């Protein structure tokens, strides 16, 4: 029986080989590591720095500007537009998620039934999610236009309204229009995830509940919902993440107007930085947006704990 070479020389060689192998393995991570630094770590840190600086269009050439303390935060957060954008983003997110869930879950339950062309319908339902968001906003702007708009035309043809409504011209309606657009593009995401969750509910569970005398509603509330709860949590967390940073559809539908009535945090931060050239103020508001988005990070990580553990 041959023994493994012992002693310093052999061990050194083994060490060298395993160190080489470890380096080779780490090399696979280098591009991704550099990219994460470039696209996420540096921008977040730099955004934080910018938010504490006294920036002007001229200072942009220098990468760093004089220290400003909390001036940008005070200036931005005391603005009426910022405050209403913060509250609006909150109500917009809650309303979007509620409607996306109700419609998405309804469609998921529908697709869970057997009917002709079910598969075709399920594949078409994804379409709104795949379109570029900016294009979606552009199309809805056309549908909701005052004259020759499809929505006014249809509602008038159905005698639901007697005069056309200026959806994009009045603050309240403009908000509703952005909301409808966002619900439209988000419904597929909810439908597809909830549908696949429903498919995984063991039929025996429902059968057992039926035998125990439960009606369809009780089955839904007592059996189905508890079973698919993890997926419901995931869609709400991801839905929150998507909605809280909504940008493209607002810019293409209303550009934040009329009179800033549809400004959300992301669009107002863009406005501060790129239209008023106050990068410091924009960065301060971006930091607030970042904190709000990161509120769900612990939940999101917990929901993905399986993928953390494996490997």
Partner 1 sequence: MGRQRRFTPLIAGVTALVALAILMFPVYAVIVGSFETNSQLLGTHYNFLPPTPTLANYRTVISTQGSHIVSSLIIGIATAVLTLAISLPAAHALARYRFRVTVGIVASLLVAQILPSIVIANSLFVVYHKLHLLNSYPGLVLADASYAVPFSILVVRAFMLGLPNDVLQAARVDGASEWGTFIRVVLPMSRSAIITVALFSFLNGWGDFIFALTLLNGSTVEPITLSIYNYIGVFSEDLGAAMALAVFAILPAAMMLIAAQRYIAAGLTVGSVKG
For residue 214, what is the DSSP state? -
**Which CB sits closer to partner 1, 136 or 261?**
136
Q: What φ, ψ does residue 53 adopt, rounded to 5°?
A: -115, 155
**Binders of partner 1 among 50-69, rule CB under 8 A?**
50, 60-61, 63
- Residue 282 sits in the site that holds partner 1 (CB under 8 A): yes
- H-only helix segments in 200-259: 203-211, 216-218, 225-244, 248-253
CA nearest 152: which of 162, 160, 164, 140? 164
d(CA 284, CA 77): 9
Q: Interface with partner 1 includes 189 (CB under 8 A)?
A: yes
- Does 36 sit near partner 1 (CB under 8 A)? yes
Tokens of 37: 């630094």
Least distance between partner 1 and beta carbon 223 (Å): 19
| Nearest residue (CB) to partner 1, 35 versus 67 | 35
Q: Which of 72, 108, 128, 165 binds partner 1 (CB under 8 A)?
A: 128
> Under the criterion CB under 8 A, does residue 148 sit at the interface with partner 1?
yes
| Phi, psi angles (nearest 5°) of residue 167 | -55, -40
Q: Does 126 bind partner 1 (CB under 8 A)?
A: yes
- Told to check if 290 binds partner 1 by CB under 8 A, we report yes
Out of 130, 158, 160, 211, name the contact with partner 1 by CB under 8 A: 130
Residue 256 to residue 260: CA distance in whole angstroms:
5
Is the backbone peptide bond immediately before 139 cis, with ω within 30 degrees of 0? no
Tokens of 194: 């909830």
Q: How far apart are CA 164 and CA 148, in angstroms?
A: 10
Interface of this chain with partner 1, residues 233 to 252, rule: CB under 8 A: 234, 238, 241-242, 244-245, 247-248, 251-252
Write the DSSP symbol of residue 4. P
C-alpha–C-alpha distance, residues 102 and 93, integer Å: 14
- Choice from 136, 224, 261, 263 touching partner 1 (CB under 8 A): 136
Q: Which residues contact 56 (CB under 8 A, 6 or more apart)?
A: 65, 277
Contact between 296 and partner 1 per CB under 8 A? yes
Residue 225 as a binder of partner 1 (CB under 8 A): the answer is no
Binding mask 79-118 for partner 1 (x = CB under 8 A): ----------------------------x--xx-xxxxxx
Instruction: Note whether 95 and 175 are within 8 A (CB).
Output: no
Does residue 230 touch partner 1 according to CB under 8 A?
no
The window from 72-80, 170-178, 207-215, 283-291 that contacts partner 1 (CB under 8 A) reads: 283-291
CA-to-CA dists, residue 166 to 138, 143, 170, 236, 268, angstroms: 16, 12, 6, 32, 23
Q: Using the minimum distance from each CB to partner 1, give the nearer residue, 7 or 286.
A: 286
Residue 174 interacts with partner 1 (CB under 8 A): yes or no: no
Minimum gap (Å) between residue 69 Cβ and partner 1: 20
Of 144 and 175, which has the nearer Cβ to partner 1? 144
Indicate the residue among 9 and 311 with the shorter CB distance to partner 1.
311
> Exactly one of 14, 69, 132, 216 binds partner 1 (CB under 8 A); which one?
132
């Amino acid at each position: 029986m041959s023994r493994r070479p012992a002693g310093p020389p052999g061990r050194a060689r083994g060490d060298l080989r395993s160190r080489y192998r470890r380096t080779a393995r780490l090399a696979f991570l280098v591009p991704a590591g550099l990219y994460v630094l470039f696209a996420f770590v540096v921008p977040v840190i730099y955004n934080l720095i910018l938010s504490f600086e006294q920036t002007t269009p001229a200072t942009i050439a220098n990468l760093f500007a004089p220290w400003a303390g909390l001036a940008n935060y005070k200036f931005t957060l005391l603005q009426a537009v910022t405050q209403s954008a913060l509250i609006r983003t909150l109500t917009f997110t809650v309303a979007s998620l509620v409607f996306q869930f109700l419609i998405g879950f309804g469609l998921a339950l529908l697709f869970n039934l057997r009917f002709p062309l079910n598969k075709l319908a399920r594949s078409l339902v994804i379409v709104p999610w795949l379109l570029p968001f900016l294009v979606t906003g552009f199309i809805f702007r056309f549908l909701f236009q005052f004259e020759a708009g499809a929505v006014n035309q249809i509602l008038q043809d159905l005698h639901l309204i007697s005069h056309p409504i200026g959806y994009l011209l009045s603050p309240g309606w403009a908000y509703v229009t952005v909301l409808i657009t966002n619900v439209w593009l988000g419904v597929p995401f909810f439908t597809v995830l909830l549908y696949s969750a429903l498919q995984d509910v063991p039929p025996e569970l429902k059968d057992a509940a039926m035998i125990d005398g439960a009606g369809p509603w009780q089955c839904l509330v007592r059996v189905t919902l508890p079973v698919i709860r993890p997926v419901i949590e995931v869609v709400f967390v991801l839905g929150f993440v998507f909605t809280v940073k909504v940008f493209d559809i607002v810019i293409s539908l209303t550009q934040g107007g009329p009179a800033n009535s549809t400004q959300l945090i992301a669009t107002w931060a863009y406005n501060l930085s790129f239209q008023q050239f106050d990068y410091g103020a924009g960065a301060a508001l971006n930091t607030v947006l970042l904190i709000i988005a990161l509120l769900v990070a612990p939940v999101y990580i917990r929901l993905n704990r399986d993928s953390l553990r494996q490997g």
